Structure 1
Amino acid sequence: MIQTAQEAKVAEDTSAYSGEVFQVVSFHIGSEEFAVDILEVQEIIRMVEITPVPKAPYYVEGVVNLRGKVIPIIDMRLRFGLSEAERTKETRIVVVDVNRVILGLVVDSVSEVLRIPSNLIESPPNGKQGASEFHKGVGRVDGRLLVLLDLTRLVGTAAG
């Protein structure tokens, strides 16, 4: 298996740590960087045509047919109260499986897979506006702050 220099550095940095290490997929929504547990991510796909669904919540853009399975698509910019943005070649759909609910999350771009030692994850900030109600914590990696999302709350709130 070939490792990039960054992957080798991350492996080296986390190998000395004896506690729990979380592996996450990081992505951008607006100017913020977010991350979700890699075990919840099924795949990452390029944008495809999304079929609108009548009377869906404002942040549900519609549905897509992914290999014979119809999955709802959530526009994360709208879900977090941000303005819509033009889709680019970097825009992706992160397909996640949360408690057996498969859905797609439209994000501005996907960054990388990271390993974060648990001692570098802080409790979520207080607040109930926008994305803050879905925070699991904040991870510090290479001088960056990653907002770790709690997809169970995101899906639970989206479903209810």
Structure 2
Amino acid sequence: MTSILDSVDSRTKLVGENRLELLIFQLGTRQLFAINVFKVREVLKVPHLNQMPGSHPKICGVATIRGQSIPVIDMRQSVGMRPLEKDQDTNLIVTEYNRTVQAFLVGKVVYIKNMGWDEIMEPPSTGRGNYLTAITKLEHDNENKLVEIIDVEKVLAEIVSYDIGISEEVLDEDLSHHLMNTRVLVVDDSSTARKQVTETLGQLGIECIEKKNGAHALQLLKSWCDEGKNVTDEILLMITDAEMPEMDGYKLTSEVRADSRMSHLYIALNTSLSGSFNEAMVEKVGCNRFVSKFQPDLLVDVVQTRMREKLEEEMGKK
């Protein structure tokens, strides 16, 4: 089963081309689901699972994989369906999100599909749509099938609460009045991730403008430029996810840098992807900072760093 991931090494070539690779799987029905291959470490048949008394009901056990104990989450149950029954088509998808490793119990793993982000659409806002970041359509078994792309960050947030507390030692009191009522553009397709950023920065008195994907964010930025506004007067910085429908964060950054009217905008890439990979991509596409998701102190550090730079820029003009 691991061979299904043989093409993963080519994923770095997709960066800046507004493309992604989806790992397509089922959850005991004919319906197709997906997650981005970027997050996947490996796929394997279900090993023996050790039970964890008192654990969250969506955790169906712990697997020992390559000497590491990894919690196993029932993906079917996590998106509002009945628990998945284990059979010969049951598999584990081992992933890394936000610096943690976990496995998801799924049904049959179908294949990997290379697609453009412009082929990915926003999900419905009702029913299981609450657990999706996007949907798309694929030809499968001679049918045009809907594929539901799961919001794994929401799934994980319902199992492990994310802290938005800010450490006192991180806060710079000299900047507090400068940050009050400042605006930041937050771009992310996950409502859970947007909420974490807005609630964290809200403690500093910062107003967050939220957009669900790069295309919507770029449209807003260009509208300000068309009106003769300076984007750095409108917002302190933009915090963007990497993976989003229509236009990903890498492409968004490239588009901003290519437009002389806003090329100087400070951009932080805020993502749950692995740090080493993204640090290289930050340099490639021209972001100013890379921040792993769900780290409030790092978010505050990015905002305060940018404010210091802005104040220095303003002093230099006097």
Secondary structure of the residue aligned to 1:89 is coil
1:34 Cα offset (Å): 0.6
Q: Is the 8 A contact 1:30 1:82 kept in 2?
A: no
Equivalent position of 1:26 in the other structure: 24
Structure 1 stretches of at least 4 aligned residues deviating more than 4 Å after TM superposition: none
1:85 Cα offset (Å): 4.5
Equivalent position of 2:136 in the other structure: 139
Which ranges in structure 2 are unaligned for 5 or more consecutive residues? 1-16, 162-318
Alignment of 1:68-147 (within 5 A): 68-127=67-126, 129=127, 131-142=128-139, 143-147=144-148
Secondary structure of the residue aligned to 2:44 is strand
After TM superposition, the score normalised by the length of structure 1 is 0.81
Size of the aligned set, in residue pairs, is: 142
1:150 Cα offset (Å): 2.0
Q: Deviations over 1:48-86 (max 9, x none)?
A: 111111111111011111111111000122222323453
Q: Deviations over 1:2-45 (max 9, x none)?
A: xxxxxxxxxxxxxxxxx622111010013221110101000001
Secondary structure of the residue aligned to 2:154 is helix
Greater RCO, 1 or 2 (C-alpha within 8 Å, sep 6+): 1
Q: Is the 8 A contact 2:77 2:84 kept in 1?
A: no
Larger proportion of strand: 1
Which ranges in structure 1 are unaligned for 5 or more consecutive residues? 1-18
Provide the identity percentage.
Answer: 21
Q: What is the rounded CA distance, in whole Å, between the counterparts of 1:153 and 1:26 in structure 2?
A: 19
Is the radius of gyration larger for structure 1 or structure 2? 2
Alignment of 1:34-73 (within 5 A): 34-73=33-72
Please tell me the residue identity of whatever aligns with 2:26. H
2:164 equivalent to 1:154:
no
RMSD of aligned residue pairs (Cα, Å): 2.0
Q: What is the rounded CA distance, in whole Å, between the counterparts of 1:132 and 1:93 in structure 2?
A: 23
After TM superposition, the score normalised by the length of structure 2 is 0.42
